[in-house]
Structure 1
Amino acid sequence: MKLLLTSAGIKNKSIHDALVGMLDKPIAECSALCIPTAIYAISGGADKAWKFLSGQAETPMCELGWKSLGVLELTALPSIDKELWVPMVKETDVLLVNGGDPLYLCYWMRQSGLADLLPSLRAVYVGLSAGSMVMAPNIGKDFVGWTPPNGGDETLGLVDFAMFPHLDHEMLPDNTMANAERWAAGLQGPAYAMDDQTAIKVIDGEVEVVSEGQWKLLQS
């Protein structure tokens, strides 16, 4: 499985080059499915979903020049036959997974059945903020917003590290390194604090940080 876990999308040449290197053909020849689901669980979600899908969100994902784009809305999938969407997911080249609330995203990944498919897919998974955080074992209580039926902060656990995105973002005054270190102290296992110029590439379990900004590996 190939993962490109970003804080804010394909923000610079280094992250773009990493993405191109993970694909087996040029972006212009690749099909992509966009997953906006996580954004609906935060304020203004419908507007933010449209901006993500239309390439107006300042977090480059959908506007990179894909051959084709489709929308995979996870909340709809449990109500339709799997034959209507599973073949499409298996055939696509890239999954573009929006930010928002990571626990809401995790819940619908599981409810839809997508979580079970992910490890076997040939697609490159590109996460944005919550779309990246959902791959961790846990997100930490600081990031709990929407509460799942069983409570807790558990996510998919498809990587063995957690992520603190948007480090030192001008619009997020609480996203300091000091707060990231306090957050990491409440987790088990490694955790990365990463700004919007940083992504983490994971191929067959091998982890590589791709950055033109600031990041730090925090051991809890």
Structure 2
Amino acid sequence: MTNDSSTIDVAIGPHRLEGSLFLPQDPRGLIIFAHGSGSSRFSPRNRYVAERLLAQGFACLLFDLLTAEEGDYRRNVFDIPLLGARVIEAIAWAGAESDVSRLPIGLFGASTGAAAALTAAAEEPRVAAVVSRGGRPDLAGDALRRVQAPTLLIVGGLDYGVIELNRSAQQSLSCRNRLDIVPGATHLFEEPGTLESVVERATKWFIDHLDATRDE
């Protein structure tokens, strides 16, 4: 975390979902993260991405999509409509928080969280951009056709099967979109330099689309 930023523990929406808001001085936008199955707001990869986005002036919200009790039921982890609704709750929460209420919103989804982010974007016109990291956008189903926010799909070049699922999902998107394949990366982007490549691509996407929204 940078010296001129702060981290605030927050509770999101009626379910009081636990979260952390990373807040720089004079933020240029808010990035809401949707983690994948079996993960949480403490995802080390998402927190790394958040810290890098924070350094570029973006506020970042990482939160648990499920309560502790809900997480005990495996089916909830893959309930995309439920997870998408929780992302919408986070967007509504942000709209009522004075520190971030006027900021353009981007969504960053990983794995199944990408489907949740796209499901939310299909319902929420306040979403200005979406980035998927190693995501399963195909799980968003018919919602893909209603997404209007520019969407970047990032997949590892060695993430066989998921590449094809992303290509298939891309065909359902009518918004501005792009599929980026990171050479030499597997699903979790654990190889040297691959997560940094994700950050660079995501940062540029958010700068291009959130800054444009703020300037309107």
Into which bin does the TM-score normalised by the smaller protein fall?
0.3 to 0.5
TM score, norm. by length of structure 1: 0.41
> Whose relative contact order is higher, 1 or 2, with alpha carbons under 8 Å and at least 6 apart?
1
TM-score normalised according to structure 2 size = 0.41
